[in-house]
Amino acid sequence: MSKTIAGFSKLTKAEKINWIVDTYFSNSENAKGILKQYWNTDEKLQQLHDEFIENTITNYYLPLGVAPNFLINDKLYTIPMAIEESSVVAAASKAAKFWLDRGGFKTEVISTKKIGQVHFIFNGDFEKLTQFFNTIKSKLIKETKSITANMEKRGGGIIDIELRDKSQDINGYYQLHASFETLDAMGANFINSCLEQFAKTFKREAQNFDLFSDLEKQIEIIMSILSNYVPDCLVRAEVSCHVDNLTENKNISSRAFAQKFVQAVNIAEIEPYRAVTHNKGVMNGIDAVVLATGNDFRAIEACVHAYAARNGKYSSLTHAKIEDDTFKFWIEIPLALGTVGGLTSLHPLVKLALELLHKPSAKELMQIIAVAGLAQNFAALRSLTTTGIQEGHMKMHLKNILNQFEATDNEKKTLTEHFKNNTVTHSAVVDAIHQLRAKN
């Protein structure tokens, strides 16, 4: 039976596990064994993992795979992907190989601007607030110099600060809307530290501004925090080839395939029900590389989906067209990433993943990850518009079903061969397993 506990975080790891298994599991020794099974035998490495978060009891493994043959701006990459979905790495690899012979992927970083805001309440005359802001703007920047010095040496720092009036939405609500360049760092701590200093300076200087009444001097800071919505931290990735070079499936002509593919993208551009699934496919590729490289996939997801709805209706992240017999497929997507700091300098597999990618800068990583998303989406749409999504997906899922039934190596070999020419469904695999075992 569940029960509360005081001071849980102060318990040792062993004490936490004992309390959990004794409280929640009928077979406490089995539960404890499963938890310990995933500990790293290297105590120093396990301690590193334990200290990533609070109340760690074990490690949760995801497969780390690679998708080779990505030609990006004429440079070859093998892309690391951490994901549990069976078909993702295979689909990315297949798309990479397809475009390898057609010029590869072309990419460019459009902008790397990041955003943070100081949210505050001001009860008074907006014109006076504007005058106050213009008077102290330079001081806001000056008083962050101890925070920004190292970033500025590398070419980054504060780009600008704006005063924004949001009082029509919430009475008395205004913002200091700041933009930043953080180079190879994701920059969350840097941005938040700057914002908190802005807030202190802003509130203090208001007390001494002669044009403010006593009420106007009482500016209330609500919060100071970066935004994960970075619509101007933008990267573009594209593939293109002559329509005739799209031929791969004997059952459909290259032109018919190109037209059908473009229509499929057009549907995702105007139909939100389709767009959500369409973009989920894009994020299959993006999240897998974001996770493998130690970046924040939750922030990326939140930003990307907000960007997909930026025009008031949720729409496709990718676009396609046929122009002068040339098929073009592209994505423009906001990606705020880092290659220094955080897990990038702590997690051994993250370090390995970044080295596999030739130790990219944040801008280079933006381009690689955008390509992963575009490749994934191309693979999904190619299947959807030709053979259907289930044929390839279920064949990849076959291994998982066989593992659920603890199939032996011989059973796996026999059934894999059987389903090369038969439709894979969960029930069909179960029937085949039972029939095979009945013979034996």
pLDDT at 3: 80
pLDDT tens string 327-337? 999 999 999 99
| Among 280, 328, 351, 399, the one annotated catalytic | 280
What pLDDT shows up at residue 398? 78
pLDDT(236) > 60: yes
pTM: 0.88
Let me know if 367 is exposed, middle or buried by CB neighbors in 10 A (0-12, 13-18, 19+). buried
**pLDDT over 60 (residue 390):** no
Please, what's the b/e burial string for 382-397 (b: 16 or more CB within 10 A of its CB; e: otherwise)? bbbbbeeeeebbbbbb
Cβ neighbors of 235 (< 8 A, separation 6 or more) are 107, 108, 109, 110, 332, 333, 334, 335, 366, 367, 370
Percentage of the chain beyond pLDDT 70 is 97
For the segment 191-200, the average pLDDT, to the nearest whole number, is 98
Is the predicted pLDDT of residue 317 greater than 90, yes or no? yes
Confidence of residue 345 (pLDDT cuts 50, 70, 90): confident
The answer to whether 152 is a known catalytic residue is: no
Q: What does the DSSP 8-state code read for residue 415?
A: H
Per-residue model confidence (pLDDT) at position 146: 96
| Beta-ladder partners of 82 | 64
pLDDT at 49 over 80: yes
The 10s digit of each residue's pLDDT in 88-130 is 999 999 999 999 999 999 999 999 999 999 999 999 999 999 9
* DSSP state for residue 105 in the 8-state scheme: B
Looking at 13, 16, 85, 238, which residue is catalytic?
Answer: 85
Span 182-188, average pLDDT: 91
Q: What angle do CA 378, 382, 384 make, to 5 degrees?
A: 115
Query: Which comes out higher in pLDDT, residue 438 or 180?
Result: 180
Residue 397: predicted pLDDT: 67
Q: Is 85 a catalytic residue?
A: yes
Quote the pLDDT of residue 387. Answer: 74
**What is the average pLDDT value for the chain, to the nearest integer?**
93
The predicted pLDDT at position 5 comes to 93
**Is 305 an active-site residue?**
no
Candidates 50, 181, 184, 296; catalytic one? 296
Give the span between the Cα atoms of 315 and 270, in whole angstroms. Answer: 6
Residue 404 — pLDDT band, cuts 50, 70, 90? confident
Share of the chain above pLDDT 90, in %: 82
Longest CA–CA span in the chain (Å) reads 93
Confidence label for 396 from pLDDT (cuts 50, 70 and 90): low
393 an active-site residue? yes
